[in-house]
Amino acid sequence: MKKMNTNEIEKALKTLSGWSLKGDMIVKSFSFEDFKEAFSKMAHIAFECEKQNHHPNWENVYNSLTIKLSTHDADGVTQKDIDLATSIEKIIG
């Protein structure tokens, strides 16, 4: 996968609500009603990650979830990250 440049990433992020570029990753934080809902969404996302063979860096604290996407083989953001972020948005709703 080809690493995207900053302009390409910023253009792609315009189609994704709330995602931002932080260093060499795209990042978004989500808030849910409680831990059970957060964990349920994480489980659903995990299956999609396996399907796409692309796995996020994420952190869950009670009802919050922060997801960071980067393609390690490319040392930055690629279309793979944009595609997974798009899928995550559909899962979260």
pLDDT tens across 11-67, in order? 999 999 999 999 999 999 999 999 999 999 999 999 999 999 999 999 999 999 999
Task: Report how many domains make up the chain.
Answer: 1
Q: Which residue type occupies 88?
A: I
CATH of the domain at 72: 3.30.1360.20
For residue 58, is it within any domain?
A: yes
Look at the pTM and tell me if it is higher than 0.75: yes
Q: How many other β-carbons are positioned within 10 Å of the β-carbon of residue 81?
A: 24
- Of 66, 68, 65, give the one whose Cα is nearest residue 36: 65
Expressed as residue numbers, the domain containing 17 is 6-92
